[in-house]
Amino acid sequence: MFRFVFRLAAMVALSISVIMAVLDATRTVAASVLVLTPLNSSWLAVSPDTRAAFETFIRTKTSPLLWDGAIAWVLNQPGFAVFAVLAFLLYAIGYRRQRRAGQFVAN
């Protein structure tokens, strides 16, 4: 059950990554210059209220150093790359290994 949830979340994250990559590719063609939109800019364009609430939550519940160090760095990376890495990690968690027992047994 949990593997299915992780694989489904990986598929959603990969879909978001592809959508963000297509948007960046479209902007790159239109501007004739490589355009990589940071995740922070995309999040602020879609829902600035949730972005502010997330920042407030992290700063009050944990150390402000966590926001300034790790989370701000992640938010400054291209959005498609962040979601692609997230999709890979979620898929790796939900991956089911193939059983090797009996694979080379003579009939």
Q: What is the pLDDT of residues 62-101, one digit of tens each?
A: 888 888 889 999 999 999 999 999 999 999 998 887 766 6
Shared-domain flag, residues 47 and 31: no
Q: Is the pLDDT of residue 57 over 80?
A: yes
Smallest CA-to-CA distance from 39 within 92, 93, 86, 6 is with 86
Shared-domain flag, residues 44 and 73: yes
Instruction: Give the pLDDT of residue 2.
Output: 86
Instruction: Give the pLDDT of residue 67.
Output: 86
Shared-domain flag, residues 46 and 29: no
Give the domain extent around 88: 1-36+79-96
Residue 13 burial (C-beta neighbours within 10 Å; 0-12, 13-18, 19+):
buried
How many other β-carbons are positioned within 10 Å of the β-carbon of residue 60?
8
List alpha helices for the chain, DSSP H: 2-31, 39-46, 48-61, 64-66, 72-75, 79-94
Instruction: Give the pLDDT of residue 105.
Output: 61
Q: Is the pLDDT of residue 14 over 90?
A: yes
Shared-domain flag, residues 4 and 31: yes
In a domain, 105, yes or no: no
Instruction: Give the pLDDT of residue 53.
Output: 94
Could you give the C-alpha distances from 96 to 70, 92, 99, 103, in angstroms and in order? Answer: 31, 9, 9, 17
Shared-domain flag, residues 30 and 47: no
Shared-domain flag, residues 30 and 10: yes
Shared-domain flag, residues 66 and 86: no
In a domain, 32, yes or no: yes
Q: What angle do CA 23, 27, 28 make, to 5 degrees?
A: 115
Percent of the chain with pLDDT over 70: 92
In a domain, 14, yes or no: yes
Domain count for the chain? 2
Instruction: Give the pLDDT of residue 68.
Output: 86
